[in-house]
Chain A
């Protein structure tokens, strides 16, 4: 079974702090994704990566950055957390170029910024 893990289920941070959210997948997937989920807005793509050290902006990249130094790990960074970044963050991964684009999701990290 595909397994996508996220480093924390719940996080509480203060405004202005630097926040790291980690995601690890064990299926040798090329693609990895970070989404933000808010009530009534569904899932919105923040960033995705299709290879090590490669990244592309999604629909709402402002205030976020990412890092992918190893194939299995994709980090989301909030350089200076703000209260409007309080949300549920979901990581996903998928194969590239196999004809099966199914994304597999982690359990999510619920972030509260005070």
Chain B
């Protein structure tokens, strides 16, 4: 069965430090992969997505993610974190071609220290 794992429930970084959020997936075919961000009390905003092609994907707000098929990973990175990046981040994989359903990870909550 398809699954998505975000191994880190909480991450704390200092403002200006680099960030990497981990995402591992289990999926039989080439997956569609997504990262979303959720600010407190808000809905989910799409940061970036991977469908095919270049495995390094650029997104909004200075984020990028790299698809590594051999490691079944799609880790999210940012070279310098800003206090406004404090939020919850969700990785998702598009499941079951034709049904357009996603499977979401359980999320990583990011805290940024001033």
Contact = CB atoms under 8 A, between A and B. Distances in A.
Interface of A: 4, 31, 33, 40-45, 48, 50, 56, 58, 90, 92, 94, 96, 99-108, 110
Interface of A (DSSP majority class) = strand
A90 to B, nearest CB: 6
Given A42-B107, A48-B101, A94-B100, A102 B34 contact: yes
Nearest to B97: A101
B21 to A, nearest CB: 14
Contacts of A45: 101-102
Interface of B: 9, 32, 34, 36, 41-46, 49, 51, 90, 94, 99-102, 104-107
Contacts of A101: 32, 94, 100
A104 B100 CA distance: 13
Nearest to A58: B101
